[in-house]
Amino acid sequence: MLYAILCYHDEDTVGSWTSEQDAAVMTKLRAVQDKLAKQGRLGPVARLLPTTAATTLRKQDPPLVLDGPFAETKEQLLGFYVVDCKNLDEALDIARDLGAANPGGAYEIRPVGLFEPGNLST
Amino acid sequence: MTDTAWIDAALTSARPQAVGALLRYFRDLDTAEEAFQNACLRALKNWPQNGPPRDPAAWLIMVGRNVAIDEVRRHRRQEPLPEDEAISDLDDAEDALAERLDGSHYRDDILRLLFICCHPGLPATQQIALALRIVSGLTVKQIARAFLVSEPAMEQRVTRAKARVAEAGVPFETPGAIERSERLFAVAAMIYLIFNEGYSASGDTAEVRGTLCEEAIRLARLLLRLFQGEPEIMGLTALLLLQHARAAARFDADGAAVLLDDQDRSKWNQKLIAEGLALIDKAMRHRRGGPYQIQAAIAALHARAEKPEETDWAQIDLLYGALEVMQPSPVVTLNRAVAVSKVRGPQAALEMIEPIEKRLSNYFHFFGVRGAFLMQLGRNDEARSAFDRAIALANTSAEAAHIRMHLDRLKRDSEPRGTKAGQ
């Protein structure tokens, strides 16, 4: 069974870490990841850019683009895509296509700061 | 890394919201700061034992307020006739507080806290010092170090600024839409000032003053979180991120400034660049241009060029042209001229800056740029005299060192052939 582990934290606090504190956390995380990678059990890992860089597409007709992260609590996180785009407009076009195929709810489009594809053998 | 380091980060991040809310309750900056300070002391004792609270800012507001109210009570007990009524009033206020902590006020609380630092009667340096002290929570010692002044001098600067703000009175009523937008742009300008104070440092002080750049970025991100849909705040944040991304490449080992063209681009911080570019993308969708967005777009074009020769100077020329219309200034024209020299050559650039010479006759960069154009045209004698003017006007040792490098190059070019320069 594949599991996704979604990371939540207070963005203000993480943003207040000094670069040394940030680097120390990343090093400790890396040690855990390396162990998993050696066993061939680590899938993609991503660190997202801050929510200030996020844009949300409400999948209504016509779709509505809003600045900022997805902020409602009525809906739940059901899945995610990682796509390679030149810019935000391209990413929004893809989100619109997906939204047309599956209306209702919303997509939050968030640039990825750090991405490692992982080595899952499945 | 100790527990306290993590608690420090949590206290720092909660500070603007907590002090902002406490200021709304007490309507006095000193009382609000003291209440926050007391709450922090309790946090340092309490959090390592009980773990950090889920919402540190709410915890600090509640505790800060309770401690201050206790003090009022104690003070009243010492008076001959305790006023029971007043005490029960305070209890009521406490209940109301719990409901109000849902954050409905917090955007205006933080904006107000930032805005009182932008008092027009305060000179820029005092605005910045005050914001760093009360919003960012840097100690007077840290601020003094970043400004390269003595601690007593900075203490005095902050005290004076606070007195001025107290005199002026803090605007407590919830702002209307127009007023909120005016506050927002005053605050944005102040954050940009903080950044520039750090960015204009010379090589030998860049590390100390870099704190100011990082703090400005933190405040810009905070402001953008409060005003998610404001393209100029996206532009401001992007501009700061893109400029700061070059920090590690801006000075050589001796502390001399390294020109953009000569910087080792592998030292640019790609994470900051990615965030800056993402924000510019977001801002552009609004089709409501503004000076911060344009400047960020220019910085983005530099950031996108992996090599200097890949820079899209024609586009940069256009963007500076738009900025000249929006915010006419001889400095903008000077910057545009650099782009023009790349697109249309040094002669066109030189003609462009001629009309602004009078207004920039005390400006270091004007003569540095003029000298460089003249040097490209082979008018070496004139170049030399422009560079001499520049050195006389240099503000930092790095600026002077940079011009001396040009002068040395001129000398080298003329010496081996044993001929006079400018022939």
In a domain, A1, yes or no: no
In a domain, B197, yes or no: yes
Q: How many angstroms separate the CA atoms of B36 and B42, rounded? A: 10
Same domain, B200 and B122: yes
Q: Calculate how close chain A gets to B326, using CA atoms only, in Å.
A: 25
In a domain, B73, yes or no: yes
Same domain, B115 and B182: yes
CATH number of the domain that residue A103 is part of: 3.30.70
Same domain, B244 and B202: no
Same domain, B99 and B113: no
Q: Does pTM top 0.95 for this prediction?
A: no
Specify the pLDDT at position B251: 87
In a domain, B177, yes or no: yes
Specify the pLDDT at position B80: 54
In a domain, A121, yes or no: no
Q: Taking CB atoms and an 8 Å cutoff, what residues of chain B touch A49? A: 274-275, 278
- Inter-chain residue contact B279 with A53, CB threshold 8 Å: yes
For A58, list phi and psi in degrees, rounded to 5: -80, 125
Q: Does B218 touch chain A (CB under 8 A)?
A: yes
In a domain, B97, yes or no: yes
In a domain, B405, yes or no: yes
Q: Does A84 touch chain B (CB under 8 A)?
A: no
In a domain, B325, yes or no: no
Same domain, B232 and B250: yes
SS3 A115: strand
pLDDT tens per residue across span B228-246: 999 999 999 999 999 999 9
For chain B, what is the domain count?
Answer: 4
Beta carbons within 8 Å of B348's beta carbon, 6+ residues apart = B340, B341
In a domain, A51, yes or no: yes
pLDDT tens per residue across span B33-46: 999 999 999 999 99
Report which of residues B74 and A77 the model is more confident about: A77
Hey, which residues does A47 pair with through a beta bridge? A114
Whose CA is closest to B409, among B306, B311, B262? B262
Determine if the peptide bond prior to B56 is cis (ω within 30°): no
Q: Sorting pLDDT into bands at 50, 70 and 90, what band is B104? A: low
Q: Sorting pLDDT into bands at 50, 70 and 90, what band is A86? A: very high
- Inter-chain residue contact B285 with A89, CB threshold 8 Å: yes
Section B128-157 average pLDDT: 90
In a domain, B93, yes or no: yes
Specify the pLDDT at position B52: 81
SS3 B45: helix
Q: How many angstroms separate the CA atoms of B206 and B202, rounded? A: 6
The answer, yes or no, to whether residue A96 has pLDDT greater than 60, is yes
Q: Calculate how close chain B gets to A89, using CA atoms only, in Å.
A: 8
In a domain, A67, yes or no: yes
Determine if the peptide bond prior to A62 is cis (ω within 30°): yes
Q: How many angstroms separate the CA atoms of B365 and B373, rounded? A: 12
Same domain, B394 and B411: yes
The answer, yes or no, to whether residue B416 has pLDDT greater than 70, is no
Token match 């979180």: residue?
B225
In a domain, B331, yes or no: no
Helices (H) and strands (E) in chain B, counts: 19, 0
SS3 A5: coil
Q: Calculate how close chain B gets to A1, using CA atoms only, in Å.
A: 32
What's the token pair of residue B366? 């004007």
> What residue numbers bound the domain in which B135 lies?
105-211
> What residue numbers bound the domain in which A99 lies?
11-116
Specify the pLDDT at position B259: 84
Which one of B207, B237, B282, B286 makes the best mutation probe of the A interface by having the most chain A beta carbons within 10 Å?
Answer: B282
For chain A, what is the domain count?
Answer: 1
